[in-house]
Amino acid sequence: MSLLAVTGALANESAQQDNEEDVYESGLVIQEWNKDITGDNYPDSIKLTGVLFPDSSLFYQTVWADIKSYNGEEFRIVYESGYSPTLTFEDLNHDGIVDLFYSSATGGSGGLYHYDLHTLANQKLEKFTSSTTSKSGSKV
């Protein structure tokens, strides 16, 4: 590979990283919470943020959660795009620490939703599942 090709590839990678950071800087806060999601008995800051599709629709083309734990550690979870993105907090894996359950409607006529389940127990981010499911509960 020539030096010119390597330089061009590195420039493209750098531009892509800059564009990703621009997206995260331009987001709209959808919801905010202060809840203990790490199990240390101190509230953590959670912001669900997204970027709307440019045609003024209500469809979020990019959705993520920025989390800052009480001790200052920061996490980012990137979610599937969709309508009406939301997080709920329940102890779904029964470890005594609430988990993050994400859902958003895909916008199709089939009533499909994106779901994701994460935990931050003991300051360790883990993803449990990711799926698209119909309102009736069947996996697609």
pLDDT digits (tens, 9 = 90+) for 36-76: 999 999 999 999 999 998 877 899 999 999 999 999 999 99
Q: How many CB atoms lie within 10 A of CB 55?
A: 6
Radius of gyration of the chain (CA): 18
Count each helix (H run) and each strand (E run) in the chain, helices first. 1, 8
What is the share, in percent, of the chain residues with pLDDT greater than 90? 63
What pTM, to 2 d.p., does this model score? 0.76
Instruction: State how far the Cα of 120 lies from the Cα of 125, in Å rounded to an integer.
Output: 5
